[in-house]
Structure 1
């Protein structure tokens, strides 16, 4: 699919542009992610622990089987993180009354109190991390990255 002309030179130029975009995107993602990780670690949490707490805070109790897919984590890792959060009194496991095969994770009062305290600070760290763009540029970046991601996903099928 030659977009920049169907000459060899056009394909080479398109390929170089794609590689450059990937490098720039990767570096930007790494820098923004570092802000997120630094903030999460400053609260004594591992990123996956924070992700589970944030998910439960914003979405309410969740089936354990769906947590991994929601935060892009392998099921074995989910069990480890859930066990650790439960041992620290941050979450409880609750069996589903309608289906014995399903167990939900829910925040305890301690877990809710912690995430309510640290999430606004985390949100501000991310706001700072992306402050190099104006509001209009952020909207444009969201639109373009969504388009890029959707097309890349289609090409995987």
Structure 2
């Protein structure tokens, strides 16, 4: 197979793998009456703690125009609370509420297991190499 064909094949494989993973996440989130974006924000807050609302988009891969809406929805569901930054009044943090923490304590372990199943055939070395290679593609700037 020539290099140009391999590159096109790589694009197809990456897109199919991404769609497959996104579908698993979509179904998993739907089981808990969440959309994938809401789930991504909850997962981020659960894994990394309080986050400035302004940076959630970059970390959870959400467009900046959607962040306020998603945080509003999660606040309405009592999963998230907003906290003012004591050092900078322009910054507001999103934080898991006690309800959100309890919810994530319950739903995250099965989700994590599902992710382990998806990548279960890969060794740690495979995972490291895959991440390294995909990061080379991810940071391509046009």
Structure 2: gaps of 5 or more residues: none
- What residue number does 2:89 align with? 100
Q: How many residues align?
A: 142
TM-score by length of 1: 0.80
Q: Is the 8 A contact 1:92 1:107 kept in 2?
A: yes
Please tell me whether residue 43 in structure 1 is matched to residue 32 in structure 2.
yes
Tell me the TM-score normalised to structure 2 length. 0.88
Question: Which structure has the larger Rg?
Answer: 1
CA displacement, residues 69-128 of structure 1 (integer Å, 9 cap, x when unaligned): 211212221111111111111111111122211111111100001111111111111111
Structure 1, unpaired ranges of 5+: 1-11
- 1:72 corresponds to: 61
Superposition RMSD in Å: 1.9
The residue aligned with 2:74 is 85
Q: Which has the higher contact order (CA 8 A, sep 6+)?
A: 1
Distance of aligned partners of 1:110 and 1:19 in 2 relative to their CA distance in 1, 3 Å threshold: same
Q: How far off is 1:48 after superposition? A: 1.0
Aligned structure 1 segments of 4 or more residues deviating by more than 6 angstroms: none
Q: Is the 8 A contact 1:35 1:129 kept in 2?
A: no
